[in-house]
Amino acid sequence: MAFDNLSDRLQMSLRRVTGRGRLTEKDIEEMMREVRLSLLEADVNFKVVKSFTKNVKEQAMGEKILKGLNPGQQVVKIVSDELQRIMGDKAEPLTINAIGITKMMMVGLQGAGKTTTAGKLALHLRKQNNLKPLLVALDVYRPAAIEQLKTIGSQIGVDVFEMGTKEKPLNIMKQAMEFAVSNGNNLVIVDTAGRLQIDEDMMNELVEIKNYLKPEEVLLTVDSMTGQDAVNVAEGFNNTLGVTGAILTKLDGDTRGGAALSLKEVTNISIKLMGMGEKLDQLEVFHPERMASRILGMGDVMTLVDKVTDNIDEDDMMGMVEKMMSGKFNYNDYVKQLKMIKRMGSLGGIMKLIPGMGKMMKGVDVDDKKTVYAEAMISSMTKKERKNPKLISQSSTRRRRVAAGSGRTVTEVNRLIQQIDQMTATFKRMQGMDPEQMANMNPMTMMNQSQPKKKSGTKKKRWRY
């Protein structure tokens, strides 16, 4: 996920500072060097990096910090505040007309993801704002671009207006608006062809369309993998067209996405939405404050909370927690839990959102397939076995049967048993702990701590077959 490596780097440089009583000027210099390097490696624009480190340094050098009680923490806060300041203080909503048709234009370089994002946006606004969208295909240049938009439209059940590749985009646009009125659409999303911001003829085409359409939003689609040039592209489009917001795409990759930092600072364009995957519902509102805390590896608690509340029945959740705490956690509960997590999205994505997990997840491979296998293995257990995990862990015959029944190996069955044991053990430890202590705990160390106990001696005895 985005920013992993940046948060690693910042944490490395900040760890040296945290835990020490006072900061020397040399500490700060050293730290700023690391911050500068990591931001550059994250593709943050060079000029932004310069002003960023300068500001942070000035603030950190202030007397307040040096004489403060916990200077390390305060520097972390300065860095975090500064990141947040650059990206904008809060998410800026899209402008939507209460009466009449809201018009949005998607613009950007070739391959940034305009067509896919246009579809995502239609779905998003239909869901969130109960609008009736119309997608308009103005990309008459790229082969099959219209086909692509039509396919996306039919996937999400949204009408697509197109007139093939022979008509001029401005004419298509005019016809499309007439159609929208007669078709009762109150949202028109225009997919334009990708173009270079320095291509005057192509940019003029956009200006003409914009002048005719007078859209509420001109949305610049920016690939989050873009390097230093992101700022030039944004300035180019903004100067000729007047961009109202940006959508950052492909953030589900492992890019550090420094463009997110640069855009607002240099061009004053707010990022409004972000694309988080190839599926058409994977478009999320961009939350700068969450992004800043994610950059620092502090976890994206707010997003997690949103996801949980959206997808989980509270009673179910509390029942589960009670069960875990009491140590009576069985395979039926495990399946229920897996289903809950599935509803929230990919396991890897969820784990990254948990504070402290970001840096520990590095190298840990969270495979969504494994949950499918786990379900298969549990389905191969008898009802009694599911209720009483001991039956399985104590009998190699049962384990072999489950393995054969689910088409997995005995080793995998053993791993599943270990997981259940581990979870039970972890939650037993959590009992009696006060919530504050729990919040400071590192989930991974907790699991690691519970592991050796089980491993020593038991492995040989238990897994003989």
Binding site for other proteins (CB under 8 A): 37, 40-43, 46, 109-113, 141-152, 155, 196-198, 223, 225-230, 232-233, 236, 250, 252-256, 258-259, 278, 365, 367, 369
**Token pair listed for 128:** 């969130």
Identify the helix (H) or strand (E) that includes residue 137.
strand 133-137
Q: How far is the CB of 315 from other proteins (least distance, A)?
A: 34
- Nearest-approach distance from CB 291 to other proteins, in angstroms: 17
Beta sheet of 159-161, edge-to-edge order? 159-161, 133-137, 187-191, 102-107, 217-223, 245-249, 271-275, 283-285
Output 37 or 318, the one with its CB closest to other proteins.
37
Give the nearest distance from C-beta 136 to other proteins in angstroms.
Answer: 16
- Whether the Cβ atoms of residue 389 and residue 420 lie closer than 8 Å to each other: yes
Tokens of 369: 């397939």
For other proteins, the closer CB: 30 or 81: 30
Which one, 134 or 225, has the nearer CB to other proteins?
225
Q: How far is the CB of 272 from other proteins (least distance, A)?
A: 20
- Least distance (Å) from other proteins to the CB of residue 374? 17
| Least gap, CB of 167 to other proteins (angstroms) | 18
Which residue lies nearer to other proteins by CB, 38 or 270? Answer: 38
Smallest gap from Cβ 66 to other proteins, in A, equals: 28
- Cα 30 from chain centroid (whole Å): 31
- Nearer Cβ to other proteins, position 9 or 124? 9
Q: Which is nearer to other proteins, 36 or 399 (CB)?
A: 36
Tally of CB atoms within 10 A around 441: 14
Q: Report whether 87 contacts 173 (CB < 8 A).
A: no
Please count the CA atoms within 13 angstroms of the CA of 282 that sit on its side-chain side.
17
258: Cβ contacts below 8 Å, ≥ 6 apart: 6, 39, 42, 43, 44, 45
Closest to other proteins by CB, 152 or 209: 152
Give DSSP secondary structure letters for 400-443.
HHHHHHHT--HHHHHHHHHHHHHHHHHHHHHTT--HHHHHHS-H
Query: Minimum distance from CB of 256 to other proteins (Å)?
Result: 7
With respect to other proteins, which residue has the nearer C-beta, 65 or 86? 86
DSSP 8-class letter at 161: E
Contact 106, 192 (CB under 8 A): yes
Considering the complex, state which of residue 254 and residue 316 has its C-beta at the smaller distance from other proteins. Answer: 254
Those residues with Cβ within 8 angstroms of residue 1's Cβ, 6 or more apart along the chain or in another chain: 251, 252, 254, 348, 349, 352, 358
**SS3 category, 178:** helix
Minimum CB distance to other proteins, residue 438 (Å): 31
State phi, psi for 191 to the nearest 5 degrees.
-95, 110
